[in-house]
Chain A
Amino acid sequence: MPGSLLPKNAPNIPLGRKCGALIAAAVVLPLALSACTDNGKGADGGSSDGSIQVSSTDTECKVSASSAPGGNLSFSVKNDGKQVTEFYLLAEDGLRIIGEVENIGPGLTRKLVVSANEGKYVTSCKPGMQGDGIRAGFEVTGSGTGTAVDDDLKKLLDTGVRQYASYVKDQTEQLVAGTKDFAAAYASGDAATARELYAATRMHWERIEPVAESFGDLDPKLDAREADLEPGQKWTGWHRAEKDLFPPAGFKLLNAAERSALAKQLVADTEELGKRTRTVELTAHSLGNGAKELLDEVATGKVTGEEEIWSHTDLWDFQANVDGARIAYESLKPALLRKDAALAKTLDEKFAALQAELKKHAKGEGFSSYNELSQAQVKQLASLVDSLGEPLSRLTAAVVL
Chain B
Amino acid sequence: MTPAGPVTDESPAKKRGFSRRGLLSLAGAGGAGAAAGIAAGLLGHDTIAAAAAPAEHPDGVIPFHGERQAGITTPAQDRLHMAAFDITTEDRAALVQLLKDWTAAAEAMTAGRTTGATGAVDGPYDAPPEDTGEALDLAAGKLTLTFGFGASLFEKDGKPRFGLAGKRPDALIDLPHFPGDDLEPGRSNGDIVVQACADDPQVAVHAIRNLARIGFGKARVRWSQLGFGRTSSTSRAQQTPRNLFGFKDGTANPKAEDKELLAEHVWASAGKRAGEAWMAGGSYLVARRIRMHIEIWDRTSLGEQEGLIGRTKGSGAPLSGGEEFTAPDFAIKGKDGEPLMPMDSHVRLAHPSQNHGVRMLRRGYNYTDGSDGLGHLDAGLFFIAFVKDPRTHYVPMQMAMAKGDTLALEYLKHTGSGLFAVPPGTKPGGFIGEGLFA
Q: Cβ of A296 and Cβ of B299 under 8 Å apart?
A: yes
B61 in contact (CB, < 8 A): no
Q: Which residues of B contact A2 (CB under 8 A)?
A: 239-240, 315-316, 323-325
| B413: min CB distance to chain A, Å | 8
B residues 369-412 near A (Cβ < 8 Å) are 373-376, 399, 402-403, 410
One of A102-110, A197-205, A362-370 at the interface = A102-110
Q: How far is the CB of A6 from chain B (nearest CB, A)?
A: 8
Flag A28-62 by CB within 8 Å of B: 1 or 0 each.
Answer: 00000000011100111100000000000000000
Q: Which residues of B contact A227 (CB under 8 A)?
A: 177, 179-182
User: Which residue of A3, A23, A306 is within 8 Å of B316 (Cβ)?
Assistant: A3
A390 to B375 Cα, complex, angstroms: 13
A308 interface contact, C-beta 8 A = no
Segment at the A interface, from B6-14, B49-57, B66-74, B332-340 = B332-340
Known: A84-B334, A382-B374, A397-B301. A3 touches B319 (CB 8 A): no
Report yes or no: A39 in contact with B295, Cβ–Cβ below 8 A. no
Q: How far is the CA of A140 from the CA of B319 in the complex (A)?
A: 31
A386 close to B (CB within 8 Å): yes
In the complex, what residues of A have CB within 8 A of residue B321's CB? 79, 84, 105-108
Identify which of A144-152, A297-305, A349-357 touches chain B.
A297-305
In chain B, positions 313-355 with a C-beta closer than 8 Å to chain A are 313-326, 329, 332-335, 340
Q: How far is the CA of A214 from the CA of B190 in the complex (A)?
A: 40
Contacts of B180 in A (CB 8 A): 227-228
B181, A299: Cβ atoms under 8 Å? no
Please name the residue on chain B nearest to A232 by beta carbon: B176
- Taken residue by residue from 81 to 94, chain B's Cβ proximity to chain A (1 for < 8 Å, 0 otherwise) reads as 00000000000000
**Is B299 a contact partner of A390 (Cβ separation < 8 A)?**
yes
Shortest distance from the beta carbon of A231 to any chain B beta carbon, whole Å: 5
Is the C-beta of A1 less than 8 angstroms from some C-beta in chain B? yes
Q: How far is the CB of B64 from chain A (nearest CB, A)?
A: 25
User: A287 CB to closest chain B CB, in angstroms?
Assistant: 14
Q: Which residues of B contact A321 (CB under 8 A)?
A: none
Q: How far is the CB of B312 from chain A (nearest CB, A)?
A: 5
Chain B residues whose C-beta falls within 8 Å of the C-beta of A389 in the assembled complex: 295-296, 299
Contact of A103 among B240, B324, B340 (CB under 8 A): B340
In the complex, B260 has a CB within 8 A of chain A: no
Nearest opposing residue in chain B for A3, CB measure? B315
In residues 94-118 of chain A, which contact B (Cβ within 8 Å)?
A: 102-103, 105-109
**Chain A-chain B contacts (Cβ-Cβ < 8 Å), number:** 138
**In the complex, A306 Cα to B180 Cα: how many Å?**
11
B47 within 8 Å of A by Cβ? no
B304, A289: Cβ atoms closer than 8 Å: yes
Which of B242, B323, B329, B332 touches A4 (beta carbons < 8 Å)? B323
A37-B176 contact in complex given A378-B374, A382-B375, C-beta closer than 8 Å: no
Contact of B374 among A86, A303, A397 (CB under 8 A): A303
Query: Does B300 make an interface contact (CB < 8 A)?
Result: yes
Given A4-B323, A105-B320, the answer on whether A300 and B296 have CB atoms closer than 8 Å is yes
Mark B176-189 against chain A: 1 for CB-CB distance below 8 A, else 0.
11111110000000
| Bound Cα distance from A335 to B319, whole angstroms | 32
Inter-subunit contact A84/B314 (CB<8 Å): no
The answer, yes or no, to whether B293 is at the interface (CB within 8 Å) is: yes
Residues of A within 8 A of B410 (CB): 296, 300
Q: Which residues of B contact A372 (CB under 8 A)?
A: none
Q: Contact: A108 with B312, CB < 8 Å? A: yes
- Nearest residue (CB) in A for B319 is A105
CA distance A188 to B293 in the complex (A): 41
Chain A residues 200-238 with CB under 8 Å of chain B are: 227-231, 233
Q: From A84, A228, A392, give the contact of B332 (CB < 8 A).
A: A84
Residue of B nearest to A6 (CB): B315
The interface size of chain B toward A, counting residues with CB under 8 Å, comes to 48
Complex Cα distance, B320 from A292, in Å, reads 28
B200 to chain A, nearest CB (A): 15
Residue in contact with A45 in the complex, picked from B176, B315, B374, B399, CB distance below 8 Å: B315
* Partner among A39, A107, A229, A393 whose Cβ is within 8 Å of the Cβ of B314: A39
Q: Tell me, yes or no, whether A171 is within 8 Å of chain B by CB.
A: no
Q: Which of B301, B314, B322, B376 contacts A37 (CB 8 A)?
A: B314
Assess whether A375 is interfacial by the CB under 8 Å rule: yes
Interface: A129 (CB within 8 A): yes
Q: Are A42 and B293 in contact (CB under 8 A)?
A: no
Residue among A105, A233, A289 with max Cβ neighbours from chain B (10 Å) = A105
- How far, in angstroms, from A378 to B300 measured CA to CA in the complex? 24
- Contact (A103, B296) CB under 8 Å given A3-B315, A108-B317, A228-B179: no
Query: Does the CB pair B335–A86 fall under 8 Å?
Result: yes
Q: Judging by beta carbons under 8 Å apart, are A375 and B323 in contact?
A: no
Q: A345 an interface residue at 8 Å Cβ cutoff?
A: no
Of the candidates B178, B319, B334, B399, the one having the most CB atoms from chain A within 10 angstroms of its own CB is B334
What residue of chain A has the Cβ atom nearest to residue B291's Cβ? A300
Q: Do the beta carbons of A3 and B314 come within 8 Å of each other? A: yes
Given A4-B325, A42-B314, are A105 and B373 neighbors across the interface (CB < 8 Å)? no
**A31: nearest chain-B partner, CB-CB:** B237
Chain B hits for A23, CB < 8 A: 239
Q: Are A4 and B335 also in contact (CB < 8 A) when A103-B319, A389-B299 are?
A: no
Query: Which residue of chain A has its CB nearest to the CB of B320?
Result: A105
Collect the chain B residues with CB atoms within 8 Å of residue A102's CB: 334-335
A166 at the interface (CB under 8 A from B): no
Are B373's CB and A379's CB within 8 A?
yes
Contact B240 A393 (CB under 8 A): no
Alpha-carbon gap, A306 to B179, bound state (A): 14
Bound Cα distance A378, B373 (Å): 9
Residues of chain A with a CB closer than 8 A to B329's CB: 105
For A1, A107, A292, A386, the residue with the greatest tally of chain B CB atoms inside 10 Å of its CB is A107
Residues of A within 8 A of B373 (CB): 375, 379
Instruction: Please tell me if A64 contacts chain B, counting CB pairs below 8 Å.
Output: no
Tell me whether B324 and A296 are in contact (CB under 8 A): no
Q: Residues of A contacting B314 with CB < 8 Å?
A: 3, 37-39, 42-45, 109
**Known contacts being A84-B334, A105-B320, is A299 close to B293, with CB within 8 Å?**
yes
Is A383 engaged at the interface, CB distance under 8 Å to the other chain?
A: yes
5 pairs, A vs B, C-beta closer than 8 Å: A3-B317, A105-B329, A230-B402, A306-B182, A389-B296
Please give me the 7 A-B residue pairs with the lowest Cβ-Cβ distance, nearest first.
A43-B314, A105-B321, A3-B315, A393-B299, A103-B334, A106-B321, A382-B374
Given contacts A4-B323, A44-B323, A102-B334, 15 further A-B pairs with CB under 8 A are: A2-B240, A3-B315, A37-B314, A37-B315, A39-B313, A42-B314, A103-B340, A105-B322, A106-B320, A108-B319, A230-B403, A231-B176, A289-B301, A379-B375, A383-B374
Interface of A toward B, CB cutoff 8 Å: 1-4, 6, 23, 37-39, 42-45, 79, 84, 86, 102-103, 105-109, 129, 227-231, 233, 289, 292, 295-296, 299-300, 303-304, 306, 375, 378-379, 382-383, 386, 389-390, 392-393, 396-397
